[in-house]
Amino acid sequence: MAESAGHATCSRTVSILGTRVMRVEDPKFLTTGGVYVDDLRDPRLDGAGHVTYVRSVMAHARVTVDVAAASGVPGVLAVVTAADFADLPPPPPPLGFIPPALARPWLANGVVRYVGEPIAAIVTESRYAGEDVAELVSVDYEPLTAVVDPRDAAGDATLLFADHGSNTALAFEAGSLDGLFDDCEVVVTQQITNQRVAPVPLEVRGTACVWEGSGDDARLTFWASTQSPHGARDQIAAALELPPERVHFIAPDVGGGFGAKFGVSIEDLVLAVLSRRLGRPMRWTETRTENMLGMGHGRAQLQTVTIGGTRDGRITAYSLDVLQDSGAYPHFGAVLPFMTQLMATGTYDIARVAVRTKSVVTNTAPVVAYRGAGRPEATAAIERAVDLFAAEIGLDPAEVRRRNLFAKDAFRLTTQVGAAYDSGDYAGALDAVLAAAKYDELRAEQRRRRDSGDPMLLGIGVSNYVEITAGPEAGTEFARINVKPDGSVIVYTGTSPHGQGHATSFAMLAADELGVPLDRITVLHGDTDLVARGGGTGGSRSLQLGGAAVHQGALETVDRARELAGDLFEAAAGDIVLDKARGGFHVAGSPDDVRGWAEVATSADADAGLIVDTDFSATGATFPFGAHVAVVEVDAETGYVRLVSMTTVDDAGPVINPVVVEGQRHGGIAQGVAQALFEEVRYDEDGNPQSTNLTDYAFPSAAELPDFTLVDMATPSPLNPLGVKGIGEAGTIGATPAVQNAVVDAVAHLGVRHIEMPTTPERVWRAIQEASK
């Protein structure tokens, strides 16, 4: 090892960053399985009451509830309704700017507003008994007009909340509509449904809780399947009107969230009250049917896009109108049109842009965050619009994109709708994905099939996307680095992974700066008593905030350790060098006398070791981007669509662990494809859900999907020292419009210009029939 120069703070080693480190999480999952909420066997939960909810079977009705028959059954500990919560105000809405008049009650209070809304909670000694007793709760329904279509809701003919005086929860707008398209040679407009879909994490919602102590000292320990333990703790404390320190929140292993498990839901909160009242621990695990009815859904926007420009392919004006279905009680979904607005122009340099959005309540399940949360809707709209524009002027859609992308040297830039893009190379992404997919050969094959009358048509879809991660406001995240007296390291993070591999990636970040081997580093998260603060995992925020905090904390730990080592060596801290290869410190020029991490940490505190707390604060959100090419085969005779291939460039800056990042891309792509081809949550006109389980809801299996071809590209962000952006949602955002565009492209020569998602065989077949009339 070469000796360090006098002023260097460490000697050089080969970085572990960017290498394919297999996940440290996996051995447990592959041998004994994870420990999810329903798997908890904590002795404090012995004797827990099991909670079962009685849920509304009508979308909108006045209800009268009679629990007498259920209450008297042996083994029933309690049956509660809204009346039993009269002493507590409704829990605060999950976001501050949701009008308080639209807050949801603990349990339906005289009126139900969606099928699946909890009306009563039953507590039983055994889990199986709960379902039996639920049948004995008598609910008398007096039907009210169900408002299912958001266009009807916007008309306010029937109000869901009379006190609010309107069905509109929120509205946002940007840009002026005046004369927007006046100088355009070509203007195309299209109504687009970005359909309601279900998040479907494989683990449903689940909760367990117990109170310990008495009176003002009583403290609640609460386990739930969440993405945001600290946020959930604060939600529970606010709902129970307690200071946050009286709630100890623990997120055990979480079996997927996809945005829908950000925070906790009303069904979780009820358990804290029941447990306090009955003096017993409580447990609840929903069924999949309950999950499909009640966890909340994603997307659910009705859009109108209008795009205008010149005949030679220059886009000069764009407008997007969004009617957001928020469901019965406004949640994240009501606010997400703000994100749609912010990302409305996508990757394109368009001179004039206007966006109008309105979020309305309907008698359907609340709309929540779902992978991408507002951004996939923006991308789907503009990417369909660009294809419609290209079709209108008869230019290749990839070429139209190329003529309108923000140039590589334009960054940093602020778009017409106020998004401050940090870095990008959109044309580079497009060129790379077209080359990898062999775009020209695909077009030739498409022509060959069309010319030969082959009924198996080929469709090629392109999308360019940019999204916003760890936004919209500049974010912050906490990390603690604790070097133990034995030289091992514990990293505490305020993020809360549930499949994203932070235990591996964050350990790599710490190892890289500390020179401590990976197997001596443990990453802890998800427990509000162990981790001081945190923002959880969502919005693709974790690496660029939480990872950056670990990186920053590790650097600060090295600085502190050099001071401590200076004391040990009786030398100035500035003369102390960290030899990462040997995991210890020495005086510059004297590499033989090394004091290891154990000795240095012990000198800080013989019991606790060296502890450094840090908060990383970003100056802004980052903007990952990419380009996707989807290839489909469409049977012109049946409308059946088969996805042949997905080729994607997803640029989120430098990659810490390719294994993890590829996994995030794969999963995101699959969910994006699923929205384009298969999935839709449907309600009938009376608000009865038509997709309440995994037989009715078209969740794809391995058999419906191909392998994915990933093309790497890494454009650093200037907004954090690692240069990283978020990758969790990218695949979902790029894939949906690429696939939808591919399906339309396959049949475009027959005169079809648009097909709504999901592009089912029936829809494709009908579109072909309509066009041939």
Strand-pairing partners, residue 276, are none
Q: What Cα–Cα distance (Å) separates residue 367 from each residue in 151, 333, 364, 574?
A: 16, 5, 9, 55
Residues 6+ away with beta carbon under 8 Å from 326: 169, 300, 333, 334, 359, 360, 361, 362, 366, 367
Residues 6+ away with beta carbon under 8 Å from 185: 308, 309, 310, 311
C-alpha 708 chain-centroid distance? 21
Residue 283 host element (H or E): strand 282-285
Per-residue tokens: 336: 């997400």
Smallest distance, other proteins to C-beta of residue 258, A: 7
Residue with tokens 């009955």: 278
List 1, 15, 26, 638, residue binding other proteins (CB under 8 A)? 26
* Torsion sign (Cα): 392, 396, 398, 402: negative
Q: Whats the size of the chain, residue-wise? A: 773
Please report whether residue 662 would count as binding other proteins according to CB under 8 A.
yes
Q: Which is nearer to other proteins, 370 or 406 (CB)?
A: 370
The contact mask relative to other proteins for 259-288 (x = CB under 8 A, - = no) is: ----------------------------xx
Smallest distance, other proteins to C-beta of residue 293, A: 12
List 668, 726, 734, 737, residue binding other proteins (CB under 8 A)? 668
Q: Which is nearer to other proteins, 617 or 693 (CB)?
A: 693
List 82, 123, 373, 669, residue binding other proteins (CB under 8 A)? 669
- Single-letter residue type at 369: A
Helices of type H across 621-773:
658-677, 730-747, 761-771
Please report whether residue 18 would count as binding other proteins according to CB under 8 A.
no
Please report whether residue 258 would count as binding other proteins according to CB under 8 A.
yes
Smallest distance, other proteins to C-beta of residue 211, A: 24
Per-residue tokens: 30: 């592959």
Smallest distance, other proteins to C-beta of residue 706, A: 9
Please report whether residue 703 would count as binding other proteins according to CB under 8 A.
yes
Span from 36-44, 75-83, 340-348, 539-547 in contact with other proteins (CB under 8 A): 36-44
* Backbone angles phi and psi of 520, in degrees to 5: -105, 10
Q: Which is nearer to other proteins, 583 or 758 (CB)?
A: 758
Collapsing DSSP states into helix, strand and coil, what is residue 79? strand
Please report whether residue 202 would count as binding other proteins according to CB under 8 A.
yes
Smallest distance, other proteins to C-beta of residue 632, A: 17
Smallest distance, other proteins to C-beta of residue 434, A: 22
Does residue 493 contact residue 561 with C-beta atoms inside 8 Å?
no
Collapsing DSSP states into helix, strand and coil, what is residue 608? coil
List 99, 244, 663, 716, residue binding other proteins (CB under 8 A)? 663
Q: Which residue, 339, 426, 416, 423, is CA-closest to 378?
A: 339
Q: What Cα–Cα distance (Å) separates residue 769 from each residue in 91, 684, 762?
A: 51, 25, 10
Please report whether residue 32 would count as binding other proteins according to CB under 8 A.
yes
Smallest distance, other proteins to C-beta of residue 728, A: 11
Smallest distance, other proteins to C-beta of residue 647, A: 13
Smallest distance, other proteins to C-beta of residue 659, A: 5
Q: How far apart are CA 544 and CA 541, in angstroms?
A: 6
Smallest distance, other proteins to C-beta of residue 294, A: 14
* Backbone angles phi and psi of 588, in degrees to 5: -50, 130
List 193, 289, 603, 688, residue binding other proteins (CB under 8 A)? 289
Query: Which residues from 516-545 bind other proteins, rule CB under 8 A?
Result: none
Q: Which is nearer to other proteins, 371 or 580 (CB)?
A: 371
Please report whether residue 30 would count as binding other proteins according to CB under 8 A.
yes
Q: How far apart are CA 220 and CA 500, in angstroms?
A: 28
List 10, 174, 200, 621, residue binding other proteins (CB under 8 A)? 200
Span from 231-239, 296-304, 430-438, 494-502 in contact with other proteins (CB under 8 A): 494-502
Total residues in contact with other proteins, by rule CB under 8 A: 57
Please report whether residue 97 would count as binding other proteins according to CB under 8 A.
no
Report strand pairing: 206-212 vs 282-285.
antiparallel
Residues 6+ away with beta carbon under 8 Å from 428: 408, 713, 715
Collapsing DSSP states into helix, strand and coil, what is residue 447? helix
Q: Which is nearer to other proteins, 131 or 183 (CB)?
A: 131
Report strand pairing: 576-579 vs 708-711.
unpaired
List 5, 8, 12, 33, residue binding other proteins (CB under 8 A)? 33
List 263, 330, 397, 667, residue binding other proteins (CB under 8 A)? 667
Phi/psi-derived region of residue 737, left when phi > 0, alpha when psi is between -120 and 50, beta in every other case: alpha
Q: Which is nearer to other proteins, 33 or 761 (CB)?
A: 33
Span from 214-222, 333-341, 693-701, 712-720 in contact with other proteins (CB under 8 A): 693-701
Per-residue tokens: 389: 């524009």
Residue 324 host element (H or E): strand 315-325
List 136, 186, 254, 561, residue binding other proteins (CB under 8 A)? 254
Q: Which residue, 453, 313, 386, 389, is CA-closest to 750?
A: 453
Q: Which is nearer to other proteins, 514 or 677 (CB)?
A: 677
Helices of type H across 484-572:
502-514, 548-569
For the chain, report the end-to-end CA distance as a whole number of angstroms.
78
Please report whether residue 707 would count as binding other proteins according to CB under 8 A.
yes
List 3, 9, 35, 596, residue binding other proteins (CB under 8 A)? 35
Please report whether residue 25 would count as binding other proteins according to CB under 8 A.
yes
Please report whether residue 693 would count as binding other proteins according to CB under 8 A.
yes
Query: Which residues from 445-474 bind other proteins, rule CB under 8 A?
Result: none
Query: Which residues from 128-187 bind other proteins, rule CB under 8 A?
Result: 128
Span from 77-85, 319-327, 475-483, 700-708 in contact with other proteins (CB under 8 A): 700-708
Q: Which is nearer to other proteins, 18 or 663 (CB)?
A: 663
Q: Which is nearer to other proteins, 717 or 736 (CB)?
A: 736
Q: What Cα–Cα distance (Å) separates residue 510 from each residue in 212, 490, 544?
A: 36, 10, 14
By CB under 8 A, name the binding residues for other proteins: 22-23, 25-36, 38-39, 41, 127-128, 200-204, 253-256, 258, 287-289, 498-501, 659-660, 662-663, 666-671, 693-695, 699, 701-703, 705, 707-708, 731
